[in-house]
Amino acid sequence: MKKILIVVALFLFFTKGIKAQDLPTFDADLGKKTVFGHEVRIPYTDVRSYFGFIKPGMVADEERGGKKYFYLYLWIPAAIPELGIRMVSPVPKDLSPEKLDYVMDEYKENSTDHSSYFDTWICLDKSDVLFNDSNFVENVKNAKWTTMAQNDDSGELPKQPSGNKYNSLMRISSNTSSPEKSLVKGLYRIGFTTYKTGDVKGSFIAQIGAVIKIPGTVITKSIEGMKAILDAK
């Protein structure tokens, strides 16, 4: 059995660099091992993709410190041990949305624009809001948000057209001893902006990875859209 595990680990290591449509495999922290001096990770079993495009002058969800922040809202229907989030801008030329992917209308209108991009910066915030059919939207407006993780640059992701590795990736492990740091059922948001002060513009793909299948996960750009989907469940 030990020999079989080593063979599987080596296979995963040597195939890690093979890109699916210009993106490397999205791998987890959970179960990470070192084999023959090399770090080996198991790929996330559940990956959701969101294709977006920010037009010049688009109104941001929030402005702080001279930066424009945009949000993607994430509903997690059950407790999970780990969540991975990564963002790449621009969307690689050979990467296109699949049937179950989330796609902004602005991306559909600008899918051939591969020259507009931004230096990504991402964070994951957790809310104190539970779903309520009648007051959900209002409750989110008054929510308390706790930042669980943030990332600027990741060497694991492809370079941007500038030649710099300014795309972002983070892996968040649930801390069950801390309510604010535990990945439980509830509403989260992925915040993104640029590292430097300035406009966010161009295409991006945001991916959310989990080590277990989580049916019922929802990703939307607006709370109203989130409520409509949750109401229909």
H-type alpha helices, the chain = 2-15, 105-109, 136-141, 223-232
pLDDT digit string (tens) for 1-44?
444 444 344 434 333 433 434 799 999 998 888 888 888 889 99
pLDDT digit string (tens) for 171-193?
999 998 888 889 999 999 999 99
> What CATH number matches the domain at 44-232, 2.70.98, 2.40.160, 3.10.590, 2.60.40?
2.60.40
Q: Which pLDDT belongs to residue 143?
A: 94
Chain mean position to CA 134:
28
Q: Is the dihedral angle over the CA atoms 80, 166, 9, 101 positive or is it negative?
A: positive
Mean pLDDT over each residue of the chain, to the nearest integer: 88
Mean pLDDT of 99-107: 94
Looking at the predicted structure, is the pLDDT value of residue 216 above 70?
A: yes
**HSE-up (13 A, CA, CB side) for residue 95:** 26
Q: Which pLDDT belongs to residue 76?
A: 95
Of 1 and 166, the one with more pLDDT: 166
Backbone angles phi, psi at 170, to 5 degrees: -145, 150
